[in-house]
A = this chain, B = another copy of it.
Amino acid sequence: MNKHQATIEKMGQTARRAFADLAGASDAQKAAALKAAAKQLRMGREAILSANALDMQKGKERGLSDAMLDRLMIDDERLESIASAVEQVALLPDPVGARIDRNEQPNGLVMERIRVPLGVIGIIYESRPNVTADAAALALRSGNAVILRGGSEAIESNRTIHKAMAVGVAEAGLPEDAIQLVQTTDREAVGAMLKASGLIDIIIPRGGKSLVARVQDEARVPVLAHLDGICHTYIGKDADRNKAIAIAVNAKMRRTGVCGAMETLLIDQDYPAPGPLVRALIEAGCEVRGDDMIMELDPRTVSAEPVDWDTEYLAPIVAVRMVQGVDEALAHIAEHGSHHTDAIVTEDNEVAQEFIQRADSAIVMHNASSQFADGGQFGLGAEIGISTGRLHARGPVALEGLTTYKWVVRGTGQVRP
């Protein structure tokens, strides 16, 4: 066992003990811990901002891009939003202890399924230091212990944020070890987390595609993640023209860097107004890469190459293709999609229902922008991520997704014949 494995094993064991202690914590205690943590974050302003200044300085020396530096930066406004996000999580309903279902057997046994925390959650993330507070808050709110591993470029910021969270948790009488931060920036520590079966119950990577791919590839612990968000919008032949334009432009252009952004637009051959749709996208500043039929609509379009249908641009570029009916739209999505979010725009509810039933996506939308693919927009309060896997939680994962259940069987002395 190398030294990182030993470190992670020790952290895992203390996390498991903390998790066992949390099992007895009340809703009120967990909420109080998060409120105390938010207070500690505000009180720790000076320490956090100067630690962040150190990270920023090192980041500049290491030549981080302006975008990365911006993600790393914490100022007063951002610190306040980190603290108030933790308070918001404190206000969310505690999923633990809820009864999922109940049945009574003829022999008098009563079976119930009761929500319980998942256990020990490992979060592996990149530059944004707010994840340290966000992820810890969501994990603790749902009774889980958490082991956080942030990016090396944010280590000083993460340490001070983690410290504030842990002090708040301890103030509320809950185990400080419920929130732990991996202190080393060595990459091998990530490998040790990914292999810590029996100690870490689930790994949630939050970051770019290369991080998620590495985690999915190496992990022996189950992973809750999405790799790609290749989201499609299919404009059916009976789509309302105004809705089609508004939804397509919003789905692509509102924010191009989010996983719910549309990457491919499929237009039905019988949709009567493809020209205005393509023009609206171009005029919103989007590059349109189309098939031959799309290219005939506007001279400003460029030709789509085969690779375009499988590309998550995360940029103001869209691949556009004409399709023949819902079957061809679904076949395209089945071949090129990433099971994230796919949408249909149509006034024909029967066609919409067929699309909804047959599209194999975590989120299927009718007459709405795929940019709504977000836990907050779904009324879940906050999300720890979006899952494109099929096991456990799917789509936006919030507090409930960080729980499992136990079966509780109550009898009066029954024995099995």
Contact = CB atoms under 8 A, between A and B. Distances in A.
Contacts of A378: 103, 105, 111, 407, 409
Contacts of A250: 415-416
Contacts of A362: 406-407
A409 B396 CA distance: 12
Interface string A356-395: 1110111111111101100001110000000000111011
A85 interface: no
Contact of A357 (B24, B361, B411, B416): B24
A408 interface: yes
A222 B366 contact: no
Interface of A: 20, 23-24, 103, 105, 109, 111, 116, 118-119, 201-202, 222, 240, 242-243, 246-247, 249-251, 254, 334, 356-358, 360-369, 371-372, 377-379, 390-392, 394-396, 404-416
Contacts of A109: 368, 372, 377
Closest 10 CB pairs of A and B: A368-B411, A250-B415, A243-B413, A371-B416, A365-B409, A363-B407, A367-B411, A395-B407, A369-B415, A391-B392
A23 B409 contact: no
23 contacts: A109-B372, A118-B391, A201-B390, A202-B390, A243-B413, A246-B413, A250-B415, A356-B408, A360-B406, A365-B409, A365-B411, A366-B411, A367-B411, A367-B412, A367-B413, A368-B409, A368-B414, A369-B414, A369-B415, A371-B415, A378-B407, A394-B406, A394-B407
A204 B394 CA distance: 20
Nearest to A216: B197
A246 B406 contact: no
Contacts of A410: 365-368
Nearest to A17: B334
Contacts of A391: 118, 201-202, 222, 391-392, 404
Given A358-B23, A410-B366, A405 B394 contact: yes
A302 to B, nearest CB: 26
Nearest to A367: B411
B247 A413 contact: yes
